[in-house]
Structure 1
Amino acid sequence: MFLHGTSRQNKLGHLEIGGVDALYLVEHYGTPLYVYDVALIRERAKSFKQAFIDADLKAQVAYASKAFSSVAMIQLAEQEGLSLDVVSGGELFTAVSAGFPADRIHFHGNNKSREELQMALDHQIGCIVVDNFHEISLLAELCRKSGRAMDVLLRITPGVEAHTHDYITTGQEDSKFGFDLHNGQIEKAIEQVLQSDHIRLLGVHCHIGSQIFDTAGFVLAAEKIFAKLNEWRESFGFVSEVLNLGGGFGIRYTEEDEPLHPAVYVEKIIEAVKENAELYAFDIPEIWIEPGRSLVGDAGTTLYTIGSQKEVPGTRKYAAVDGGMSDNIRPALYQAKYEAVSANRISEHHDTTVSIAGKCCESGDMLIWDIDLPEVKEGDLLAVFCTGAYGYSMANNYNRIPRPAVVFVEDGEAHLVIKRETYEDIVKLDLPFKTGVKQ
């Protein structure tokens, strides 16, 4: 079996993460429980940053906080010297609440509201990644009224399709995101921004997809963008100070996945930028990237307690856990695959094939099909690996199930960073229905 980061089998035959026994975590915090290996997050952050340092290039590594946003996680990103990518007012508010430096916050999104843009201006964040013509007009209006200026990147769709699930490709021409690179939209956007007195065009941005296992797409995107940058220098006198090539770097969910080391992605991006800058006689722009999943994905493990079991003779054996699509919707949404072990019996032979069902009232609530575990018993602990990205951030209250707690572990210590929701939390925004009351 493959264990990520600091995870190991301890002398008691239990799974241990960050020096903390999984059984201790469950005893103190219950299940379902998200557990984050802080040392692995730190190591990944350093790997991305060091590749730019070694190349002696100006760069920003921005944590894409949509992967997992919380006050503690944002503070960890700040400790590691990362910048921050937010995509909503809620993520921006979390960053501000965490005390994250506003000048290192980049605001993305295809439908930023008037209130969200005003919030970004009020907090004087570092950059807004503009996604469409409506946003250009709205931002220009808000800047003018508030007397503030804002640096922006224009998001482009370069026509590069990453080899990934259809729902998580974002760089192809037919996308809800950004300005198309080939139909004249981006030129109109550049012209509008350059005419504004309050918006400063800092550079361009693209994102070609997620869970990407090679570098060819990033290289091709850089080539396409530099060819256009050469045209825009001639037609607009515009020289991009920043080139943001996004993120989407893959992680290992199962043995079928073969991601590259973070430094390899960065080195290939640097190589492509340098070659194209030299080809078109540009100074090398500041390079920005946006790892999210690759920083936190395989640092996260979800612990569950096994309850009921069911066997369909000659077909399949099911084991149900006390969570499911309410804390990990990715298997239902993306057909995502995961690996798991028996956290309290990790030393025993995993030679019984079972399928892991969630507890939500949906036949599609299946976390894992056909994995090998020891003979399943009620009360066993199941550890599902690589749930650190888009687990808690996409968690929901379907069937009015409370969202789990989140714990950070490092150097033998556990820190509760998000409390478990209670039933009282579930109903606290509900209001009674009073009949006979006229408005």
Structure 2
Amino acid sequence: MVTGAAFAAVMLAGVPIGLCLCLAGMVYIAASGNPLLFQSYPMQLFGGVDSYGLIAIPLFILIGEIMNGGGITRRIVEMAMAFVGALRGGLAYVNVLANMFVSSILGSATAQVAIMAQIMVPEMERKGYDRTFAAGLTAYAGMLGPIIPPSVMFVVYSVLAQVPVSDMLIAGIIPGVILTVLFCLVIAVLGWVHGFPAGEAMSLRRRVRTVLGALPTLSIPVVIVGSILSGLANATEAAAVGTVAAALVGRYWTREFDFRQLPAMLGRAGIYSAIVLFLVAAAAVFSWVLVFGKVPQDVAGWIRTVAKDPVTFMLLVNVILIVIGTVIDGVPGLIMTVPILLPIATEVYHIDPRHFGVVVTVNLVLGLLSPPVGLCFFVAAAVTGAKPGRMFLVTLPFFFISCVLLLLLSVWPGLSLALVKP
């Protein structure tokens, strides 16, 4: 109780979530009357990041840096334009499809929204779309980043849950594709109701030239996902090969990547990676405290009185996590909830941890698009000047269709596990 009160107090005071977790652990040890536990504290911190799979995080982030600096993102947008740009609401489709392709390289919702909002929103506004809708659509399309591999959130979850990183990345493919299709269906309905403008039709020659010019950029996700699916590489090795592929494509195909940019890119990737890895280390201490305090057992006892079967449990988890996700960012949300909920899911309701990880991740990412925080909306607003509150209102259909996906994933585990080797 004292630990929970201390955690809530420092978090409300604006202390970063990683430090909150570390301080909560110290308060628990002090309150337990067993000072010898302080000797184990550094070991728990180190143990949290002593995982080979975590090497994939800085590599995935570096891929995104190289891709953005090498002009690869722009070519992916142009390729999406060649496929669907001439349809009614064509630029809205392009926004979603380009985000799907980019998400297979970036893996971060906030980074993806920041990049794609700069590219798509001004273009959509020039073609007659409302700026607020364009910014909100870009924020929702950014949901695909943590779902379609590679995904920093999946890597963190795999370490917390002790499951293979490759399995988690593969488990996100089908849900990510389904979410893309659902978003396109919403755009089709909204385009018919609101009369979205039709895009500019390309000649066949220009369309072929655009697609052929962008095809080499797709070698990056093909290398990453293909090497994992084929068993030729694990997630960390695939990330390393993908980094080399991104550098080669940016340097010798798009010719916009200069190796002199690399030190700055490595610096930015290192800073973001350090933040994520510190959170993971703090999570190890927090999980250790929860186990000593028997919190998972107490929560399991309460949930058993409410949820009598796995489906009911998953629906309850959906509600809990969406609420948590509205005020806490994705990775910290994973760190706070997985140590408590995962043992209940696997031991009490016999839910596959990989399926549970997909549902948890989609929940917390949806929280990034829900008031009162809605971090992705604020990122889009900072880039475009749109108002976050109105952004949420005009894109409510995308929120509801995302909830439909959550229900489907909760009821049918096969949507997550179909491609994963048993």
Instruction: Specify the TM-score bucket, using the shorter chain as the normaliser.
Output: under 0.3
TM-score (norm 2): 0.25
Indicate the structure whose relative CO is greater, using CA pairs within 8 Å and at least 6 residues apart: 2
Higher share of residues assigned strand: 1
Higher share of residues assigned helix: 2
